């Protein structure tokens, strides 16, 4: 059996061991990646994809998940980037970092569903809070003339953190997507 077939068999065996709810979470996350993110090369939409998956699982299946707005670090320095992922029963799902706009700058990360690496990629480190080293990097960036960028990204992070806890704010964010990729349009794509 080839390596790809072995990996597929291992994932199928892992999926079979999941609870019924966890299988739904897995299947929805995989569909979001396979039918929306990967074919459209969707990048820079971590908040959107996490908020969508959270709402979809709740609305369609009554499954409660937690959208997390935290930070990732690529391990090459101390810079931390605002990022969102989903948690179900304490297990992380991140479907957006597996495709990046500039792989030469930010390599594509792992596709993680329920703490399992489903597709290999660069290993990013996840943090709920900014580390001291990350704060020092932000200070250096501010002193090097990047204050406007740092302030903008920190404001965006605060806004998304606040939004992540309120359904009405999540839905208004999803339905206000400027490219028309609203909640209902993504539902149609992943359920097809």
pTM above 0.85, yes or no: yes
Q: Are 90 and 108 in contact (CB under 8 A)?
A: no
Q: What is the mean pLDDT of residues 122-131?
A: 96
Residue 26 in contact with residue 15, Cβ under 8 Å? Answer: yes
Question: Which region among 7-11, 108-112, 160-164 has the lowest average model confidence (pLDDT)?
Answer: 7-11
Helix (H) or strand (E) holding 70: strand 66-73
Residue-wise pLDDT for 76-105, tens only, equals: 999 999 999 999 999 999 999 999 888 877
Are 164 and 106 within 8 A, CB to CB? no
Residue ranges of domains in the chain: 20-191
pLDDT in tens, 24-64: 999 999 999 999 999 999 998 999 999 999 999 999 999 99
The tokens of 74 are what?
A: 């690529």
> CB 55: neighbour CB atoms within 10 A?
19
CA distance 89 to 87: 6
Q: What is the mean pLDDT of residues 139-146?
A: 94
Phi, psi (rounded to 5 degrees) for 87: -125, 135
Alpha-carbon span 53 to 18, nearest angstrom: 18
CB-CB contact of 52 with 42 (8 Å): no
Q: Which helix (H) or strand (E) holds 147?
A: helix 147-163
pLDDT of residue 1: 64
Residue with tokens 């990967």: 38
**Residue 33 DSSP symbol:** I
């Amino acid at each position: 059996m080839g390596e790809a077939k072995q990996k597929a068999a291992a994932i199928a065996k892992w999926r079979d061991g999941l609870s019924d709810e966890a299988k739904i979470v897995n299947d929805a996350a995989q569909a979001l990646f396979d039918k929306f993110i990967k074919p459209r090369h969707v990048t820079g939409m971590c908040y959107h994809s996490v908020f969508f998956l959270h709402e979809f699982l709740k609305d369609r299946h009554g499954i409660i998940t937690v959208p997390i707005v935290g930070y990732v670090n690529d391990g090459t320095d101390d810079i931390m980037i605002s990022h969102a992922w989903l948690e179900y029963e304490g297990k992380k799902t991140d479907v957006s970092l597996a495709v990046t706009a500039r792989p030469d700058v930010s390599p594509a990360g792992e596709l993680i569903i329920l703490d399992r690496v489903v597709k290999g990629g660069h290993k990013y480190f996840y943090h709920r809070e900014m580390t001291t080293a990350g704060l020092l990097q932000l200070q250096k960036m501010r002193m090097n003339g990047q204050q406007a960028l740092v302030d903008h990204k920190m404001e965006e992070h605060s806004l998304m953190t606040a939004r992540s806890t309120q359904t009405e704010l999540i839905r208004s964010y999803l339905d206000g997507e400027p490219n028309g990729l609203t909640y209902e349009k993504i539902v149609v794509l992943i359920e097809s």
